[in-house]
């Protein structure tokens, strides 16, 4: 089987870490900075970083509408942290007029944990992503959480009561940063999703 081609939106944020993980799993990582680079992808990752900056750059690089079109056409997309904000249909605590790519029927609150602590690590309950005896160790950095989920959305993980990972068809998002740990189970899950779509 040929290696899946997975784009990483490379406007700002922790792009390299995702590429490294993808390549360690046998996928082909492709940097995406312009519309033509979306062609022929099997999936796309929206990395963590700063959602307000990434969305402004996406608009400036004429990528916003092509990204929205790719989501509508069913491209598998995984957003981590800022990427979760970018994929959300609705956001709270965004900056004035903050746009998103959208596609995930959720309300995501920006910097939600940040009002309590800036960053932290936690073991998550995530039956679809991790074995019960080997929980997912997750790194949260000024992380958002999911405050409301639409009917088609599956919750993949919670930190305490808070929803921190979701999936809706070919779209998935995590509040945390698996690319900053040695745990590759979230990326494996996304690669399976991309292969099966
Ligand atoms: N707080 C950031 C934002 O609003 C996200 C933080 C992150 O990606 N680590 O975009």
Domains of the chain: residue spans and CATH? 5-196 (3.40.50.880)
User: Which ligand 1 atom is at minimum distance from the Cα of 143?
Assistant: 6
Contact 63, 55 (CB under 8 A): no
Instruction: Indicate if 152 belongs to the active site.
Output: no
Residues lining ligand 1, CB < 6 A? Answer: 48-51, 81-82, 85, 110-111, 141-142
Q: How far is CA 173 from CA 61, 81, 88, in A?
A: 23, 8, 9
Distance CA 25, CA 147 (A): 32
H helix and E strand count, the chain:
5, 12
The one catalytic residue among 17, 73, 152, 177: 177
Distance CA 167, CA 189 (A): 11
Q: Which of 85, 93, 96, 146 to mutate to test the pocket of ligand 1 (most atoms within 8 A of CB)?
A: 85
How far away, in angstroms, is 83 Cα from ligand 1 center?
A: 8
User: Can you give the pLDDT of all 197 residues of the chain as single tens digits?
Assistant: 689 999 999 999 999 999 999 999 999 999 999 999 999 999 999 999 999 999 999 999 999 999 999 999 999 999 999 999 999 999 999 999 999 999 999 999 999 987 657 899 999 989 999 988 889 999 999 999 999 999 999 999 999 999 999 999 999 999 999 999 989 999 999 999 999 98
Instruction: Give the pTM.
Output: 0.96
User: Which ligand 1 atom is at minimum distance from the Cα of 50?
Assistant: 10
What ranges make up the beta strands (E) of the chain? Answer: 5-9, 28-32, 43-46, 77-80, 88-92, 104-109, 119-124, 136-141, 145-149, 154-159, 162-168, 171-174
pLDDT reported for residue 1: 63
Contact 67, 101 (CB under 8 A): yes
In 3D space, the residue among 27, 85, 24 whose CA is nearest the CA of residue 56 turns out to be 85
User: Which ligand 1 atom is at minimum distance from the Cα of 94?
Assistant: 4
pLDDT reported for residue 182: 83
The one catalytic residue among 148, 179, 187, 197: 179
**HSE of 101, CA atoms in CB hemisphere, 13 A:** 34
């Amino acid at each position: 089987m040929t290696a899946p081609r997975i784009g990483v939106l490379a406007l700002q944020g922790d792009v390299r870490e995702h590429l490294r993980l993808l390549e360690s799993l046998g996928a082909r990582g492709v940097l995406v900075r312009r519309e033509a680079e979306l062609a022929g992808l099997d999936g796309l990752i929206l990395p963590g970083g700063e959602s307000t900056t990434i969305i402004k750059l996406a608009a400036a690089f004429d990528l916003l509408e092509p990204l929205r079109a790719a989501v509508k056409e069913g491209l598998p997309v995984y957003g981590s942290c800022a990427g979760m904000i970018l994929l959300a249909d609705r956001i709270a605590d965004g900056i004035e007029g903050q746009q998103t790519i959208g596609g995930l029927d959720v309300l995501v609150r920006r910097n939600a944990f940040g009002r309590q602590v800036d960053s932290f690590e936690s073991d998550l309950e995530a039956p679809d992503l991790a074995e019960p005896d080997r929980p997912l160790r997750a790194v949260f950095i000024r992380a958002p959480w999911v405050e409301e989920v639409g009917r088609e959305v599956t919750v993949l993980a919670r930190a305490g009561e808070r929803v921190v990972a979701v999936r809706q068809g070919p779209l998935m998002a995590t509040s945390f940063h698996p690319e900053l740990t040695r745990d590759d189970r979230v990326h494996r899950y996304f690669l399976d999703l991309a292969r099966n779509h």
